[in-house]
Amino acid sequence: MQDVIIIGAGPCGLSAAIECERRGLSTHIIEKHSLVHSIYLYPTHMQFFSTAELLEIGDIPFPSPNEKPFRYEALSYYRKVADHYNLSISQYEEAVSVESLADQTFIVHTVDRSGQKQRYEARNVVISTGYFDHPNYIGVPGEDLDKVTHYFREAHPYTGMKVAIIGGSNSAVDAAMELIRVGAQIDMIYRGEEVSENIKPWVRPVFEAMVQKEKIEVHVQSTVTEIRQNSISIRNHDGQITEIENDFVLALTGFRPDRKLLTSCGVELDGDMEKPVFNPETMESNVPGLYVAGVIASGRNANEVFIETGRRHGLAIAEHISASRRTAQTD
């Protein structure tokens, strides 16, 4: 019987485990993939929007020679933090359901990569799963073709190719800037009137210069209507359909958290945004003893929660569990 089982070994899950361990709570983390898998899935050369200080957890300094750290630095940092605290982590083991028992304890059912089923008993459960497993599909014919991906890793495979980028967020702009360097011909299709206002300020002027130089053709107020093997069709705000020759499509339309674990044990979702019901001061859900941390606490808009804010969830959770245990011992 563990005091706390944490599902998800991202920065927010690691932070929750550290804070619980500091308070003498026995803790175990279950991770479907590898440690900080969401960061691993970021583009290979991605630079964070935040400073290193805002990504720190467990009061461990994040040393970086850069004002804004890169992905590879974050991977190294979080590995070292997990080692420093000697966190108990089961990697490549998927939590498939959480069972809430009558005595207010839980059983977490898992399956490892060899298909072996496991079960863990815990007095409290923290669900801190990410969202990169579930891209937002655009739902058009041809989206299942091999030329389409919802993940951009690096530019090299697209050298000299005609690439359509669907989206106008930081991920789309960053991909476009990398693709320019390998001589790709880029069409960016975005349904908004202009690319996101939240583009990294040091990237925006360079991006706009590339648009002016016609290195990138931006189609705003437009949507992709069909993807074919050698072309795509887009519709503009006037309803006009244009066909564009195309080799690859990067559908960078964002991701959404998986609610399966939440609903498996009775956590309520609030309205159309599918946001779990929880106390923002303690992060405890409507199911006593079950907590949410990180992006899973957001609604359909996963951008509500970032590492910078989600890393604080673990502190609130650990303090509430400790206080509840002290109250129970006194009673």
Q: What is the pLDDT of residues 66-97, one digit of tens each?
A: 989 999 999 999 999 999 999 999 999 999 99
Q: Tell which wins on pLDDT, 255 or 10.
A: 10
Average pLDDT along the chain: 91
How far apart, in whole angstroms, are the C-alpha atoms of residue 307 and residue 57? Answer: 10
Q: What Cα–Cα distance (Å) separates residue 8 from each residue in 14, 294, 314?
A: 8, 10, 12
DSSP letters spanning 237-288: TT--EEEEE-SEEEE---B----HHHHHTT--EETTTTEEPB-TTT-BBSST
pLDDT band at 98, cuts 50/70/90? very high
Q: What is the pLDDT of residue 190?
A: 94
How far apart, in whole angstroms, are the C-alpha atoms of residue 62 and residue 278? Answer: 31
Q: What is the pLDDT of residue 264?
A: 85
Of the candidates 121, 93, 85, the one whose C-alpha atom is nearest the C-alpha of residue 5 is 121
Return the axis-axis angle of helices 11-22 and 313-330, rounded to nearest 10°: 30
Mapping DSSP to helix (H, G, I), strand (E, B) and coil, where does residue 39 land? helix
pLDDT band at 324, cuts 50/70/90? confident
pLDDT band at 120, cuts 50/70/90? very high
In the chain, the domains with their CATH numbers are 2-133+255-330 (3.50.50.60), 148-251 (3.50.50.60)
pLDDT band at 295, cuts 50/70/90? confident
pLDDT band at 130, cuts 50/70/90? confident
DSSP letters spanning 84-147: HTT--EE-SEEEEEEEE-TTS-EEEEEEETTS-EEEEEEEEEEE---STTSB-----TTTTSTT
Q: What is the pLDDT of residue 270?
A: 84
pLDDT band at 203, cuts 50/70/90? confident
pLDDT band at 271, cuts 50/70/90? confident
Q: What is the pLDDT of residue 304?
A: 54
pLDDT band at 272, cuts 50/70/90? low
Q: How far apart are the first and last CA of the chain?
A: 21
pLDDT band at 290, cuts 50/70/90? very high
pTM of the model: 0.87
- pLDDT, tens only, 207-266: 999 999 999 999 999 999 999 999 999 999 889 999 999 999 999 988 877 788 888 888
Q: Which two tokens stand for residue 252?
A: 């960078």
